[in-house]
Amino acid sequence: MGRATITTPAEREIHVERVFDAPRDRVWKAFTDPELIARWWGGVGEKVVVERMEVESGGHWRFVVHGPDRTDGFEGRYREVTPPERIVQTFEWDGMPGHVVVETATFTDLGDGRTKVTTVSLFHTTEERDGMLQSGMEEGLNSSYEALDALLAEQP
């Protein structure tokens, strides 16, 4: 479905929009089912181990991505889970402990069998936001979303 649209409308925010060619319930499940998330979250060719995924308010999540050159851990807490519309969670990368991002993902049914996922990431500082943008986040995100496209295409 193409690349994600990434913008920085405010000093501490990154907005990401992406349309998926699947109904909202299927996209929601891909974001909330540990077996499915392990198949796309790390991107094409990466192995993701879902160590924890308690999809409920206050629940903990932790994913470890094993790539060809390195291993990275990510984790956070779910602050709000409103199926199939919205997830608010914290996001922290093991490589920068203590730098916590608050992510709000909204799932919009476009009414034609497609779903728009909008994610707003709120950083503590502009410098942290810029660091994320310079970290290769865009390529990693688009690789993950390409893997999600493939996963959604194989389900009826």
Q: Report the greatest alpha carbon distance in the chain.
A: 43
* CATH number of the domain enclosing 95: 3.30.530.20
pLDDT at 1: 64
The answer as to whether 107 is a domain residue is yes
- How confident is the model over 109-131, as pLDDT tens digits? 999 999 999 999 999 999 999 99
Phi, psi of 41 (to 5 degrees): -60, -40
- Residues 33 and 110 both lie in one domain: yes
- Residues 97 and 66 both lie in one domain: yes
The answer as to whether 95 is a domain residue is yes
Domain with 78 in it = 17-122
Instruction: Give the mean model confidence (pLDDT) for residues 24-28.
Output: 98
Statement: residue 156 has pLDDT above 80: no
Share of the chain residues as helix, strand and coil, in percent rounded to the nearest 5: 30, 40, 35
- Residues 141 and 117 both lie in one domain: no
The answer as to whether 98 is a domain residue is yes
- Residue 56 · residue 81 · CB < 8 Å: yes
- How confident is the model over 47-103, as pLDDT tens digits? 999 999 999 999 999 999 998 888 999 999 999 999 999 999 999 999 888 999 999
